[in-house]
Chains A and B, each alone.
Chain A
């Protein structure tokens, strides 16, 4: 925030010299870089913290506290992105009274970078979701919802690429099948496409064509089903370039992120942080120049 202000307010001279100096430094002094990915899922309109007397989450959560935490983490590491894996809406009277306006405005205040769309984000209909878009200063990502014949056409992106400290981070979104979960009246002509195929296509574009250093999926498929219904664990095993799946929908509380072998035998992380904004997930990716890499490959500490 301070840095952004500095760049826009100072005369170009200082900024240019500053920038030049930075890249000059990094060239002579190749130190490791750290990218922090912060994430939430299934916040369900939980803007206030839970009361102290709450049976399951006493005195936990709350957007005002999350704001403090996120600001602190960004200060610690400016190379930070913040994402949400869907079901932003529905769960408290804030949604029933204001239709999601507050949720989007507050996420914008926290400087969320992107979110994917959960089934409950259709609860006021696709028109209700569309109506709140002016309040969202972050990108809605969905690669497998085809909104072509809906009012949402052109208002979402399949993926977004963020360049942070010269590291290219490709992020794509996946949504759950809506039939039987959401009334057709609400999602209208939204077409749900096979998430596995779409994920494989999208990660290939991000890695091979766009040359991303890091590929992240925001998924609202759900963590794990015993049936053959698509879930994050099955998805992880089918991917090849995705490094992290940030999940949602099943309100799954994990002790730690799950490590899954992908289709070429490499490790991929699947994470989800429960629900209602009681937790914030934080995954740090460390990058180094080739010559500093140990022979063991990527070490995962969770």
Chain B
């Protein structure tokens, strides 16, 4: 105790002495740089060791085979519809409808997603949960909006003008050679201007993504809380073979 007290006195004295001569500090110079983190920096082994068990568990889950793709699935293999787009839209229609039906008693009439939302092709071979993350890395979930005939017309006009193979399912759009509309069928029936249609899409598009402004005038909106990525992964899990084809859901007549 006495010893400690002595130290305290010495400490105070020295600091007191020092601080009497302390001058105020002022900022004089600033310099900035950005350091790129490349392989010239050795990996810290304690970090690697810490992460390893977490990484192993993820790899084990993500790399277990869910299905098989006999051919390459791409979002650029068709003009107005593509194999990758059809796969995503079909999966969304199949798996989000039970959720929507349970919540509202209604059924989804069709699906519209965006072409840009498909982030990776699927290679020939085993399809895993990791494939789902590659195709859909974003946290977008499925939202079902009720649209009237006018909004559906605007949507179709958008799709014709855009000429982009945005993923669709449950709807068929047939154009004449001059890009005028030949037919629109929804759930196999001709489009009825007086009907309300339930359209499944992504929460990103409902909030104005890709300028799909026709979603703004929805008469109802229902969240499914189902991530599109999880839909893809669940869909892979239900199928043995993933073999989507370019078909006639959105075409121009010869």
Q: List residues of chain A with CB under 8 Å of any chain B CB.
A: 12-13, 16-17, 19-21, 23-24, 26-28, 30, 32-33, 47-49, 59-69, 71-72, 90-91, 93-94, 97-98, 102, 105-106, 109, 123, 166-167, 180, 183, 213-214, 243, 254, 256-257, 269, 271, 273, 277-294, 298-302
Q: Give Cα A282–Cα B25 distance, bound, in whole angstroms.
A: 21
Given contacts A64-B51, A93-B58, A109-B46, contact A280 B37 (CB under 8 A): yes
Q: Which of A59, A67, A257, A289 contacts B47 (CB 8 A)?
A: A67
Q: Which of B33-79 contact A (CB under 8 A)?
A: 33-39, 41-48, 50-51, 54-55, 57-58, 61-62
Write the chain B residue with the least CB distance to A106.
Answer: B47
Q: Kindly state the separation between the CA atoms of A257 and B21 in the bound complex, as whole angstroms.
A: 36
Lowest 10 A-B CB distances belong to which pairs? A20-B14, A64-B43, A289-B23, A67-B44, A23-B18, A286-B29, A64-B47, A65-B41, A27-B21, A301-B31
Contacts of B18 in A (CB 8 A): 20, 23-24, 26-27
A61 and B32 contact, CB distance less than 8 A:
no
CA distance A256 to B17 in the complex (A): 43
Q: Please tell me if the beta carbons of A109 and B47 are within 8 angstroms of each other in the complex.
A: yes
Q: A47-B51, A102-B51 are in contact. Are A298 and B32 (CB under 8 A)?
A: no
B27 lies within 8 A of chain A by Cβ: yes
Known A24-B17, A106-B50; judge A287-B7 contact (CB<8 A). Answer: no
Chain A binding surface, main DSSP class: mixed
Q: How far is the CA of A17 from the CA of B10 in the complex (A)?
A: 8
Find out whether the CB atom of B31 lies under 8 angstroms from the CB atom of A284.
yes
B37's contact among A23, A60, A243, by CB below 8 Å, is which? Answer: A60
How far apart are the CA atoms of A285 and B32 in the complex, in Å?
9
Q: Is B37 a contact of A278 with CB atoms below 8 Å?
A: yes
Residues of A within 8 A of B15 (CB): 19-20, 23
* B162 at the binding interface (Cβ < 8 Å): no
Given contacts A64-B48, A93-B133, whether A285 and B30 have CB atoms under 8 Å apart is yes
B28 in the interface (beta carbon within 8 A): yes
B30 and A298 within 8 A (CB): yes
B67 CB to closest chain A CB (Å) equals 19
CA distance A271 to B33 in the complex (A): 10
> Is B4 close to A, CB under 8 A?
yes
Asked if B104 is an interface residue, CB under 8 A from chain A, the answer is no
Inter-subunit contact A20/B11 (CB<8 Å): yes
- Judged by a CB distance under 8 angstroms, whether B207 is at the interface is yes
Query: Chain B interface: which size bin?
Result: 35 or more
B23–A30 CB distance below 8 A:
yes
Contact B50 A279 (CB under 8 A): no
A120, closest chain B residue (CB): B139
- Cα distance A243–B26 when bound, in Å? 13
- Can you name the residue of chain B whose Cβ is closest to the Cβ of A268? B30
Answer yes or no: B24 CB below 8 A from chain A CBs.
yes
The listed residue (B28, B38, B44) touching A59 by CB distance below 8 A is B38
Inter-chain pairs besides A60-B37, A67-B47, A277-B37, 4 sampled, C-beta below 8 Å? A27-B22, A94-B54, A269-B32, A281-B34
A33, B7: Cβ atoms closer than 8 Å: no
- A298 CB contacts on chain B under 8 angstroms: 27-30
B19 within 8 A of A: yes
A sample of 27 inter-chain contacts (CB < 8 A) reads: A16-B7, A17-B10, A19-B15, A20-B10, A20-B14, A24-B18, A59-B38, A60-B36, A61-B37, A64-B43, A64-B44, A65-B42, A67-B44, A68-B43, A68-B44, A90-B139, A97-B58, A102-B54, A109-B46, A166-B25, A180-B207, A256-B34, A282-B34, A290-B24, A290-B26, A298-B28, A300-B30
User: Inside 8 A of B23's CB, which chain A residues have their CB?
Assistant: 30, 289-291
Q: Please state if A23 and B28 are interface contacts (CB–CB under 8 Å).
A: no
Q: Which residues of A contact B29 (CB under 8 A)?
A: 284-286, 298-301
Q: How far is the CB of B212 from chain A (nearest CB, A)?
A: 15
Q: Which residue of A lies closest to B35 (CB)?
A: A280
